[in-house]
Amino acid sequence: MILVVVFVSIFIIICILDVITPHKYPIGPTRIPLLGSYLEIQKLRKKLGFYHLVWDQLSKSYGQVFSVKLGLIEAVIVSGYDAVRQVLCKDDFDGRPDGFFFRFRAFNKRLGVVFVDGPTWIEQRKFCMQHLRKMGFGGDLMEKIITEEVNDLMIDITNKCENGKSIEVNGLFDVSILNGLWAMLAGRRFALNDSKLARLMELVHVSFRMLDMSGGILNQMPFLRFLAPNSSGYKDIKQILVEFYTFLKESIDEHKYGKNDQEDFIHAFLMEIEKNKESPGSFSEQQLLVILLDLFLAGSETTSSMLSFVILHLLKHQDVQDKVHAELDSVIGDREIHFEDKKRLNYLEAVLMEVQRHSNVAPLAIAHRTIRTTSLQEYIIPKDTLILASIWSVHMDKNHWGDPEVFRPERFLDSTGQIINDSWLMPFGVGRRRCLGEVLAKTNMFMFIAKLIKKFEIRIPHGAKLPDKHQDGVTISPSPFSAIFIPRR
């Protein structure tokens, strides 16, 4: 009897402590012991469809900085230009989350380059950028690789669209986008119809839809993997990771055992492992695997989805497509397009900027974590608090943009037709932890769209209806739609 009383008393104390918040901590929705704000958040998500809209709704009640308890995780949600910039630019917020999911995906360690922080992140990011640049990242070789991918894709589209056939746009850019990165990472490219890569890209899309920026329910309530391995997603995510790492390990082994002797990123990393084998530090084969996973995921899904959104907007706004083509005709004429032409194609650049603002492929910045107790506005945020910053709230701020729900590329052009570089546009984030692949993504977007619009007139299939609702997850992607690509004369 005494043991029961002690157990109940301890449980009650744990439940009370679980819902108490620190002094000067942001307020937020009601907390339930062990579940936190989970039930209310899920109710709102079911109603609104997207997590960033849930955070927007709650911010109307609790302010631009508010707290939520995501199962076992303490989190602060941040909206609005000033607060978002402070989170993204202040060193105190430079940490990355360190929960169950983020270790589970990395051999139960803190590995990779996206979800690590401190000296490891500084060292690995420096190594990645240094050696990717050697492989052509950000230079003429990268443009050459991307140009080859675009040209191959245009041939493929021409063959598929014979006799006015429509083709599915979602997934259209997957292999082409990944090839540009994979050539630098692994010294090879894939055929557009490669079945193994098609399977991996399917897994990328599935995994991005299963999770959210906090790491999903597995990160919030990791004990569910024992109680409900299927419905919690644990079993599926585990299988997805097995397939990814099997593929990546094969690529590494090809380099280790002489089947691929390219001097690419994998080769450089293996040389670094060999050089540091007496004192490996953060250079190991597992670290290489997780870095490749990070770059594989980050370098394919977001850019592919963004290009699909560009096509969707050009279908919805045929007048915008016509203006882009007229500018290409005027500036480029019959010659080949080069990346340096970007600075002379202001209307096209404004269109790409507006798609990034309006579509919000990454509505939340990659999750941050406070590395020490710090301040945010009038609040005190304890160390190790998860921070979710809403880029969507900045891109859709009515006070700044006036009509944010309207697709209007002209908002990024001044009266003389020159580009307005508005600091409120931040699709790649800001600060030290802004997106590693920004240069590659921008080059891809420009080269693919410029060449496609120059070569094809893109139209809506007869009787087809374009989607208005998109798909939620770690990123936002368009719902499936098709288009007809008509070769220009």
Domain ranges of the chain: 1-487
Mean pLDDT of all residues in 416-445: 95
Does position 6 have pLDDT exceeding 80, yes or no? no
If we measure between CA atoms, which residue out of 214, 293, 301, 350 comes closest to residue 476? 301
DSSP state of 307: H
**Tokens 């002797």, residue located:** 261
pLDDT band, very low/low/confident/very high, at 489 (cuts 50, 70, 90): confident
And the tokens for 7? 């157990």
Q: Is the pTM of this model over 0.75?
A: yes
AA letter at 10: I
Give CA angle at 273 (215, 293), nearest 5°: 25
AA letter at 80: G
**250 and 268 Cβ atoms separated by less than 8 Å:** no
Query: What's 1-487's CATH class?
Result: mainly alpha
Does position 18 have pLDDT exceeding 60, yes or no? no
Rounded CA-CA distance 305/172 in Å is 10
435 appears as a binding residue in the annotation: yes
Does position 63 have pLDDT exceeding 60, yes or no? yes
Rounded CA-CA distance 429/436 in Å is 10
pLDDT digits (tens, 9 = 90+) for 297-337: 887 889 999 999 999 999 999 999 999 999 999 999 999 99
| pLDDT number for residue 370 | 98
| pLDDT number for residue 188 | 85
DSSP state of 90: -
Rounded CA-CA distance 158/165 in Å is 10
Compute CA distances 100 → 108, 214, 218, whole Å: 8, 11, 7
Q: What is the mean pLDDT of the chain?
A: 92
Rounded CA-CA distance 306/440 in Å is 13
Mean pLDDT of all residues in 34-42: 89
Torsion, Cα 465 469 475 478, to 10 degrees, reads 0
And the tokens for 465? 């209806």
Does position 4 have pLDDT exceeding 70, yes or no? no
Residues 6+ apart with CB under 8 A from 112: 106, 124, 287, 290, 291, 293, 294
pLDDT band, very low/low/confident/very high, at 191 (cuts 50, 70, 90): confident
Residue 68 phi/psi, 5-degree rounding, is -140, 155
- Per the model's pLDDT, the better-predicted residue between 38 and 6 turns out to be 38
